[in-house]
């Protein structure tokens, strides 16, 4: 009776264990030494490990099982099972055991498909560009370093740095979706005719690296790059738009221009910037003179960053004057750099570089801070009613984040209605929603808007009709010798008429001679001008030394005709930004 009792308990426990094994979430199988399945639980059956899968899907498993049995130790493998296009990945442990005198193999499989897909995604994001599918910089660097490691073979290769010209303008005008589509199509054209041993990589927004390996001569590379650039001259048709794009290319050769990837990349980059500065859309090989230029540029960059850190920028103020009464209507704040020796540098030497380095936003805020700090002195000199103009680059005007911060800074001055923002016409015609999104922020504060350097950008008189601005400043190229230039006179009359109809104040920039003034007074209705004839830019130090006590004296200081020898104030020295 007792034996029967124990026997019943053992059978119950055995059934209980079998049920647990059957319901385990991991796929569990047991095989004998011949590879025959002795036990398959439900999870393994659902995976098709019960023999229902095609034989080729289980070949890897059978091989692993035999190795584990022969070695007499556990083996861990990854198994990929396919069902059409779908892939399932299992992590399986095969463990040989000896039970009841029999050699058996216990295999337990866990589904790691989701984990492997995530790992694959991480791999692709680390090594391939998501937009174009091209290899990343890390991949092309590895390829180049592999060639460099075989230095004794004498293999030569070329590294080309390619940058899309004016891509920022394309993005602004057509939108980022079109810009992305252009990069995809551009990468296809760049990748055409490449050999298996060559590699094209997208390393950042509109920058690509091209590795050509092996190469025989500079001439061979030059001919290939010429044919590639010619291929890019055909228009791209994207989103019902016909887009023309070009690429500037700098090329370095191994071992002529460097013996490391970083040196070759840097020298190709330097050569590319030479092209950017000399017309764009072509290719150039690196040479030693470029390196000297790059070092000089780097020195200027460091100096500029240090100047911003040490706040060595200062403001000069130039008046906008009523040409009939010589009363001051407003002033424009002009940024200047004081170098290490205290010499004032005009913006032509640093303003474009500040924009390239991403320092222009900080510089604009520094100008505003200087104005706020000196507002009492400004009021005493130019009058408390004079508007104060600050230049904002078109790139800044199209950046909502910067413009929001700048609008907040203007509001915090306590007198935002005194300010006028001067932007070039490019800010209005680009599809960056300047008028729809950014302009209302400043209108709400009462900040005025001025179109600077009108006539030199991409807009037209018809485009002017859609622009909501308070002031239009006619570029000095139209005003210089206006009394001698009938064609410029006709253009001036057209701009003046349309501006008057739209309620915008017209200001003539760069007025430098009595003859120019006389023409404006006699032949136009233009009331305001800005230029050296009335007043040169005046610095805060000069304001402190000559703070007038009366309004008559104030007009005299701020808008005094230049009677002295004009040679000391050339047009070249009057650059305003």
Cα–Cα distance list, 24 to 30, 366, 426, 474, 517 (Å): 14, 68, 68, 82, 95
Q: Tell me the C-alpha distance between 107 and 99, whole Å.
A: 15
What is the pLDDT tens value at each position of the chain, 577 positions in all? 455 554 555 777 767 777 888 888 888 888 887 777 788 888 888 877 766 665 555 666 777 777 777 777 888 888 777 776 677 888 888 888 888 788 888 888 888 888 877 777 776 667 888 899 999 888 999 899 988 888 766 789 999 999 999 888 888 788 889 999 999 999 999 998 899 999 999 998 899 999 999 999 999 999 999 999 999 999 999 988 889 999 999 999 999 898 999 999 999 998 998 888 777 889 999 987 777 777 777 777 787 888 778 877 888 999 999 999 989 999 999 988 877 666 677 676 677 778 777 788 988 998 999 999 999 999 999 999 999 999 998 888 888 889 999 999 999 999 999 999 998 877 776 545 677 788 888 999 999 999 888 876 555 555 566 677 899 998 888 899 999 999 889 988 888 888 888 889 999 999 999 999 999 999 999 999 999 999 889 887 777 666 554 445 454 555 555 443 333 333 333 334 3
7: left (phi over 0), alpha (psi -120 to 50) or beta: alpha
Q: Tell me the C-alpha distance between 291 and 454, whole Å.
A: 38
pLDDT of res. 234: 92
Q: Tell me the C-alpha distance between 479 and 512, whole Å.
A: 9
**Spatial contact of 503 and 480, defined as CB atoms under 8 Å apart:** no
Q: Tell me the C-alpha distance between 481 and 194, whole Å.
A: 56
DSSP letters, 205-260, are TTEEEEEE-S-S-HHHHHHHHHHHHHHHTSPEEETTEEE---EEEEEEEETTT-SS
Q: Tell me the C-alpha distance between 203 and 135, whole Å.
A: 8
């Amino acid at each position: 009776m007792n034996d029967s009792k124990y026997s019943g308990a053992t059978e119950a426990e055995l059934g209980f264990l079998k049920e647990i094994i059957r319901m385990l979430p991991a796929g569990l199988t047991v095989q004998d030494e011949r590879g025959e399945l002795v036990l398959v639980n439900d999870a393994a059956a659902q995976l098709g490990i019960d023999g229902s899968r095609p034989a080729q899907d289980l070949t890897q498993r059978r091989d692993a099982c035999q190795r584990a049995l022969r070695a007499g130790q556990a083996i861990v493998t990854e198994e990929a099972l396919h069902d059409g296009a779908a892939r399932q990945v299992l992590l399986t442990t095969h463990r040989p055991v000896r039970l009841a005198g029999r050699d058996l193999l216990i295999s337990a499989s866990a589904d790691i498909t989701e984990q492997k897909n995530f790992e694959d995604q991480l791999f692709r994001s680390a090594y391939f560009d998501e937009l174009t599918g091209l290899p990343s910089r890390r991949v092309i660097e590895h390829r180049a370093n592999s060639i460099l490691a075989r230095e004794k073979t004498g293999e030569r290769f070329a590294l080309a740095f390619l940058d899309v010209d004016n891509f920022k303008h394309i993005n602004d005008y057509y939108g980022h979706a079109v810009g992305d589509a252009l990069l995809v199509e551009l990468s296809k054209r760049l990748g055409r005719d490449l050999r298996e041993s060559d590699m094209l990589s997208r390393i950042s927004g509109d920058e690509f690296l091209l590795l050509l390996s092996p190469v025989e001569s500079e001439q061979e590379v030059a001919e290939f790059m010429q044919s590639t650039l010619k291929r890019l001259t055909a228009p791209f048709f994207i989103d019902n738009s016909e887009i023309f794009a070009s690429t500037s290319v700098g090329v370095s050769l191994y071992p002529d221009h460097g013996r490391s990837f970083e040196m070759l990349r840097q020298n190709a980059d330097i050569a590319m910037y030479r092209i950017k500065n000399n017309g764009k859309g072509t290719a150039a090989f690196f040479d030693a003179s470029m390196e000297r230029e790059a070092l000089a540029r780097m020195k200027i960059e460091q100096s500029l960053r240090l100047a911003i850190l040490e706040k060595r920028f200062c403001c000069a103020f130039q008046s906008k004057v009523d040409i009939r009464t010589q009363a001051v209507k407003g002033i424009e704040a002009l940024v200047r750099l004081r170098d290490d020796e205290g010499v004032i540098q005009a913006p032509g030497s640093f303003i474009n570089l500040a924009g390239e380095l991403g320092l222009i936003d900080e510089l604009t805020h520094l100008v505003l801070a200087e104005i706020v700090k000196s507002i009492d002195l400004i009021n005493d000199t130019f009058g408390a009613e004079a508007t104060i103009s600050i230049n904002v680059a078109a790139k800044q005007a199209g950046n909502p984040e910067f413009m929001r911060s700048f609008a907040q800074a203007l509001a915090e001055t306590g007198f935002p209605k005194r300010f006028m923002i001067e932007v070039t016409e490019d800010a209005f015609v680009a599809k960056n929603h300047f008028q729809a999104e950014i302009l209302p922020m400043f209108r709400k504060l009462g900040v005025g808007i001025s179109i600077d350097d009108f006539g030199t950008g991409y807009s037209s008189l018809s485009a002017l009709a859609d622009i909501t601005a308070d002031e239009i400043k006619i570029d000095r190229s139209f005003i210089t010798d206006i009394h001698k230039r009938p064609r410029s006179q006709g253009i001036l009359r057209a701009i003046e008429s349309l501006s008057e109809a739209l309620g915008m104040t017209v200001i003539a920039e760069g007025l430098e001679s009595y003859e120019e003034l006389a023409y404006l007074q006699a032949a136009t209705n233009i009331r305001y001008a800005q230029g050296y004839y009335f007043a040169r830019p005046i610095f805060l130090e000069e304001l402190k030394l000559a703070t007038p006590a009366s309004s008559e004296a104030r007009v005299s200081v701020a808008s005094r005709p230049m009677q002295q020898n004009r040679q000391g104030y050339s047009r070249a020295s009057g650059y305003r930004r």
